[in-house]
Amino acid sequence: MIAGIVIGVVVVILIIIFVALYNGLVKRRNAVDNSWSQIDVQLKRRHDLIPNLVESVKDYMAYEKETLTRVTEARADAVAAGAKGPAQAAQAENALTDTLRSLFAVMENYPDLKASQNVMSLQEELTATENKISFARQFYNDAVLTYNNKIQTVPSNIIAGLFNFEKRDYFEAPDEAHEVPKVDLS
Amino acid sequence: MNFRQQIARNKRDSWFLMLTIVVALLALGFIIGLAYWGDYYGGLGLLGVFGVVAIIWSIIAYYAGAGMALAVSGAKKVTHDQEPQLYNIVEEMSIASGLPMPDVYVIESDAANAFATGRDPQHSAIAVTRGLMHRLNREEMQGVVGHEMSHIRNYDIRFATLVGILVGLIALIADFFLRSLFFGGGRRSGGSGSGGGNVIFLIIAIVLAILAPLFAYMVQFAISRRREYLADASGVELTRNPKGLASALQKIAADPVELRGANRATAHLFIANPLKKRKDKAKSGLLDTHPPIQERIDRLRKMAFEGPLEDEAVAAAAGAPAMAAGPADVAVDGTPLSGGAPVEPPKQPLPDPREMPRPFDSG
């Protein structure tokens, strides 16, 4: 009788622990998905803004065709990579960020552009969108970190293994430090 | 202790503090009642009355306090189209914190200040003065908005509203009681024979009526000061850029204009004390709502691991209304404005969140 009660209590406790761990994992995973969709919204917004910007600056910047073409191409790549998951999207988006940055740098040389209300407000929108992307990325990466920690550490890793909770990718920030400078010794 | 734990502790502290203040309020009611009517029924009666008043008042404050604070300050709600840059910055910070987007308000005043209010992150607002928008560049404004967003995330806004109301109530009641004595309250003298006890209670009540508001203010301000530091630190956790907020505080400290529409009841809501009556001291006194700005700047600088702010940058930005239409001042060409620690190119030089050292993550 007493043994039965003890076993019953233990089973109930185990079930409660199991449910708590499982729910915790699901919550974390949802947080990751949710914060990814936030990045996605901002990336799409950037994709929508770029053609407008290119359109409004191209008359002023006849000599910068090449820069503009690179921005347009990088945008097309980024749109295409959007469906391929965080790792690929991050790469294409970072390339796009770089081309945009060089476009903004070149725009500094055209005082006429500064006088255009339209261009200025587009630039503010793009800057804000860039910031939103990097803040959303920050939030997403924090969520991924917590989630990955959860599924790799005892005890929740047992449940993660049983129910196929997979490790998630970080949205890598552009990082120049990884590029080893080429040294020409010839 | 990390931020999550800090926030949890903050919430716990808030409830404990609320309880203390409520008990103080009820004790005040009991003693005054005792002194007035000379028996325990009087004391309990007044205690009950105060309790009911406090509850009703708190409920009103909980639902209407934010609107009142905004109205008193003369804040006007703005949309994205009216103030694109400010609105964008608030949106950036709401994304960084993962909280819903607060309403954005502008106060038409030359003073440089900002505050957040509301009852929870779902019902919150951030108000910024026009003067602040003119003086700060984008990066600095981001620091200020990050600070305000942290007040929202840390539930400081709810705490500030409720405690402000209760402390105000204590002060009001104590004041009322002392005045009524002065004008010779009626029933006290016609007591039912227990005159000796009455006098003692009367003295206790007077002492309490004088001390209780002081005590309540001191507790409120102590918590308010600690929360300013916490909001500075967790605001930097959002922006990952201590220099933005530090140089914003520098400019706010240098601003001589007093904010009209701010009063003692709303002063503790603002990022810096809007009532600049005295010089900013190096040490904070018991009756200060905010820690000394210099001390806050020093702490932020320690987070940035670097020396003093470049004065010329501050001076240059102070001259130009950077908020007007400026494209983001930051790093258009990849040069980080805020030369923080190891920097990568994006707008805010953000180290990867996973590698971000958390200097304010102490103990």
A128 touching chain B per CB within 8 A: yes
User: How many CB atoms sit inside 10 A of residue B204's CB?
Assistant: 14
B103-107 β-sheet, strand order:
B75-77, B103-107, B123-129, B114-120
B324 touching chain A per CB within 8 A: no
**Min distance A40 CA to chain B CA atoms (Å):** 12
At residue B2, the pLDDT reads 62
At residue B248, the pLDDT reads 93
Q: Whole-number mean pLDDT of chain A?
A: 84
Residue pair B132/B112 in contact (Cβ under 8 Å)? The answer is yes
- DSSP-derived letter for residue B351 is P
**Min distance B3 CA to chain A CA atoms (Å):** 13
CA-nearest of B298, B277, B296, B297 to B287 is B277
Task: For residue A56, tell me if it sits in a domain.
Answer: yes
At residue B269, the pLDDT reads 75
pLDDT, tens digit, for every residue of A149-182?
A: 988 988 888 888 888 888 888 887 665 444 444 5
User: How many CB atoms sit inside 10 A of residue A163's CB?
Assistant: 11
At residue A16, the pLDDT reads 93
Nearest residue of chain A to residue B329 (CA atoms): A127
Chain B residues in contact with A104 by the CB 8 A cut-off are 327, 332-333
Dihedral angle computed from the Cα positions of residues B282, B238, B360 and B118, in that order, rounded to the nearest 10 degrees? 60
Q: Which of A56, A127, A176 to mutate to test the interface with B (most CBs of B within 10 A)?
A: A127
Residue positions counted in chain B: 363
Task: For residue A176, tell me if it sits in a domain.
Answer: no
For the structural domain made of B71-153+225-319, what CATH number should be given? 3.30.2010.10
Phi, psi (rounded to 5 degrees) for B118: 135, 175
Task: For residue A160, tell me if it sits in a domain.
Answer: yes
Chain B residues in contact with A177 by the CB 8 A cut-off are 342, 344
Chain A residues in contact with B88 by the CB 8 A cut-off are 124-125, 128, 131-132
Task: For residue A111, tell me if it sits in a domain.
Answer: yes
A59 touching chain B per CB within 8 A: no
Cα–Cα dist B65/B73, whole Å:
12
**Rg, C-alpha atoms of chain B:** 23
Nearest residue of chain B to residue A132 (CA atoms): B92
Q: Active-site positions of B?
A: 148
Run means of pLDDT, 10 residues per run, chain B, 363 residues: 68 77 84 80 85 85 84 91 94 92 94 90 93 93 94 86 81 84 56 56 84 82 82 88 91 80 70 64 64 84 57 40 34 34 37 39 35
B93 touching chain A per CB within 8 A: yes
Q: What tokens appear for B15 in the block? A: 């409830």
Domain ranges of chain B: 3-70+158-224, 71-153+225-319
Please report, for the domain that includes residue A10, its CATH number: 1.20.1440.20
Angstrom CA distances, A58 to A50, A69, A97, B219, stand at: 12, 10, 19, 61
Q: What tokens appear for A174 in the block? A: 């552009």
B181 Cβ partners below 8 Å, 6+ apart? B202, B206
**Mean pLDDT over residues A73-91, rounded?**
84
Cα–Cα dist B115/B265, whole Å:
13
At residue A19, the pLDDT reads 92
Count the domains in chain A.
1
Strands (E), chain B: 75-77, 103-107, 114-120, 123-129
Residue pair B224/B47 in contact (Cβ under 8 Å)? The answer is no
Cα–Cα dist B353/B357, whole Å:
9
pLDDT, tens digit, for every residue of A20-72?
A: 999 999 999 998 998 888 888 888 888 988 888 888 888 777 777 888 888 89
Q: Given B142, B346, B352, which is nearest A130 (Cβ)?
A: B346
User: Whole-model pTM?
Assistant: 0.75
Burial of residue B278 (CB within 10 Å: 0-12, 13-18, 19+) is exposed
Residues A134, B354: C-beta atoms closer than 8 Å: no
Cα–Cα dist B65/B169, whole Å:
14
**Min distance A186 CA to chain B CA atoms (Å):** 31
At residue A22, the pLDDT reads 92
Angstrom CA distances, B96 to B47, B237, B258, B263, stand at: 46, 9, 32, 32
A174 touching chain B per CB within 8 A: yes
Place of tokens 């002392």: B178
Residues A104, B333: C-beta atoms closer than 8 Å: yes
Residues A175, B344: C-beta atoms closer than 8 Å: yes
B144 Cβ partners below 8 Å, 6+ apart? B114, B128, B132, B136, B245, B248, B271
Domain region containing A113: 2-168
Residue pair B340/B224 in contact (Cβ under 8 Å)? The answer is no
At residue B65, the pLDDT reads 80
At residue B317, the pLDDT reads 40
**Rg, C-alpha atoms of chain A:** 24
pLDDT, tens digit, for every residue of A101-127?
A: 888 888 888 888 877 888 888 888 988
Residues A132, B91: C-beta atoms closer than 8 Å: yes
Q: Which of B81, B82, B85, B92 to mutate to test the interface with A (most CBs of A within 10 A)?
A: B92
